[in-house]
Amino acid sequence: MSTSTVLDEIIVGVREDLTQRMEQVPLERVKELALAAEPARDALAALHGDGAKVRIISEVKRSSPSKGALGDIPDPAVLAAKYQAGGAAAISVLTEQRRFGGSLADLDAVRAAVDIPVLRKDFTVDEYQIWEARAHGADMVLLIVAALPEKTLRYFLELTELLGMNALVETHTPDEIETAQRVGAKIMGINVRNLKTLEVNNEHYASLAANLPQSVIKVAESGVSGIEDVTGYANAGADAVLIGEALVKSGDPEAAVRAFSAVPRAQ
């Protein structure tokens, strides 16, 4: 008998919460709101930048399953504004409630505070969430290969792009990278945190990054505690690095983003 992983358990809660939201706001209404929203910003261009320096995706992250509460964020809009002032290329907002303490209200607050691309970071398991992201002003959504059958992943990616957004397609293994390539991912992330065990291994990025095609934006996710980690990812070919905990706990998020954003890309 197979045992459930942390990812499986998170998705169970995500589906329960999603069911409640779908009852409160029907899909057809969410579609109306999505189609009436301001056009999505170009996340591909933002993450590419000038090609000289690594681009930072700064995350509004209240807590995590592995570390618990990370820090007090009384106003996510204030934090997001500091990220933008420090030179963040994009801002990721956790909207999963049970394990990460996030909400769509956090997404709304950040969207209103910044004019750079915003990633709605959640566990996308239903097309409702993609329409919902666009309705709340998101420019990007997270699609986790490990959480979706390939056919569904392909459909979700197509829908995301149809709505003018981009998807960060997250991988953890060579097989998942191949799947992401087959469905046409343009922004591919390697998460060095094992979502089944929550263990982190930064060296995992370099070993997998060699499998990423040059044509995509390559994003390193998780495992950043300081500038040496960002430098390591950049040297291994990362175009962008997604950072949450290290920024939330930094004490000076604007200065931290500025320092991380100065790291040169591998040439």
- Alpha-carbon Rg for the chain, nearest whole angstrom, is 17
Question: Which active-site residues does the annotation give?
Answer: 59, 61, 121, 170, 191, 221-222
Distance CA(79)–CA(178), nearest Å, equals: 36
Separation CA 217–CA 201 (nearest Å): 21
Tokens of 97: 């409630």
Token pair of 149 as six digits:
């059958």
Tell me the C-alpha distance between 185 and 157, whole Å: 8
Are the beta carbons of 7 and 99 closer than 8 angstroms? Answer: no
Backbone angles phi, psi at 90, to 5 degrees: -160, 165
Listed by start position, the domains of the chain span 6-262
Which of 186, 93, 189 is closest to 138 using CA atoms?
93
Residue 81, judged by CB atoms within 10 A of its CB (0-12, 13-18, 19+), counts as: middle
How would you write the pLDDT of the chain (267 residues) with one tens digit per residue?
A: 356 788 899 999 999 999 999 999 999 999 999 999 999 999 999 999 888 999 999 999 776 656 655 566 778 999 999 999 999 999 999 999 988 889 999 999 999 999 999 999 999 999 999 999 999 999 999 999 999 999 999 999 999 999 999 999 999 999 999 999 999 999 999 999 887 778 888 989 999 999 898 899 999 998 898 999 999 999 999 999 999 888 888 889 999 999 999 999 987
- How far apart (Å, rounded) are the C-alpha atoms in residues 241 and 92? 11
What CATH class has 6-262? alpha beta
pLDDT at 1: 39
